[in-house]
Amino acid sequence: MKTIFGIVLIVLLWYFLSFVIGSSFVLPFPHEVLGNLINQLSTPRFYVALWNTIWKTLIVLFLSSFIGIILGFLMGMSDTIYEIFRPMLMMIQAIPVVSWLAFVVFLWGVGWRGPILISTMAILPNTVFTTASGIKNIDRKLLEMVRLYKVSRSKIFRHVYLASIIPFVIAAIEVSIGNVWKVVLVTEFLVGGNGLGVELAWARQYVDVPRIYAITIIAVVLGIVTERVFKIISRRMLEKWEMY
């Protein structure tokens, strides 16, 4: 119920700002955006663009999580590996998105590979460093104790290492989900061959402001839904593994 009041407050504030600004080219009224959104939902082209953005986003999440967790685990276990890969990851983290855009345009031109590569590079360092932090924060006295009592490696991995890094991994993936939709749409907007980002580019080309806001709302909803679904899945997995 409180969420509904929050949404109503946003709509009322939106109407107020639209009235004050008085220009549909800057901030159209909510009912104009809603009408545009309904029109888009009735066209097959929208669903093709939506699907193209969704599968690219899922691939980016999988790649950044899979590579990030494995590399972060190794970096957390070994200071040598950490020092070897840290400069590379910091360099990836510091490279501006526009530099990546120039690189992929020269390499592949416009298409689906650019958004996936750039988005993965943007998300990956956070997952790696968060997972490595989880491993490094494991209580060393606890490790010495379980080794002293000759606990099996499988139990040490599950009840010490896995239990310690799971909260960090979940936090890293939640942050990635919050950012991945934005990054994918930006890269699609600039170098994508299809997707919601490309639809945004066309809307800008035709100065279709309500369409821009409608696609933005869809992106926000996708981000929120993805985060909620991940939380439900992660909670069930933790309950199954008796970690919740």
| 151 lies in some domain | yes
pLDDT of residue 152: 75
| 142 lies in some domain | yes
Per residue in 25-63, pLDDT tens?
888 999 999 999 999 899 999 999 999 999 999 999 999
Report yes or no: 50 and 40 within 8 Å, Cβ to Cβ.
Answer: no
Two structure tokens written together for 130: 């968060």
pLDDT over 90 for what percent of the chain? 39
- Amino acid sitting at position 2: K
- Name the most confidently modeled range: 1-5, 28-32, 99-103, 230-234: 28-32
| 83 lies in some domain | yes
More confident residue, 67 or 168: 67
d(CA 190, CA 170): 30
| Structural domains counted in the chain | 1
pLDDT over 70 for what percent of the chain? 98
- The CATH number of the domain holding residue 84 is 1.10.3720.10
| 221 lies in some domain | yes
| 14 lies in some domain | no
| 20 lies in some domain | no
Instruction: Compute φ and ψ for 242, nearest 5 degrees.
Output: 60, 40
Q: What is the mean pLDDT of the chain?
A: 86
Report yes or no: 199 and 39 within 8 Å, Cβ to Cβ.
Answer: no
| 12 lies in some domain | no
pLDDT above 80: residue 151: no
- Structural domain including 128 reads 30-243
Two structure tokens written together for 52: 């193209």
Confidence of residue 100 (pLDDT cuts 50, 70, 90): confident
pLDDT of residue 22: 85
Report yes or no: 117 and 104 within 8 Å, Cβ to Cβ.
Answer: yes
| 182 lies in some domain | yes
More confident residue, 25 or 9: 9
Confidence of residue 77 (pLDDT cuts 50, 70, 90): confident
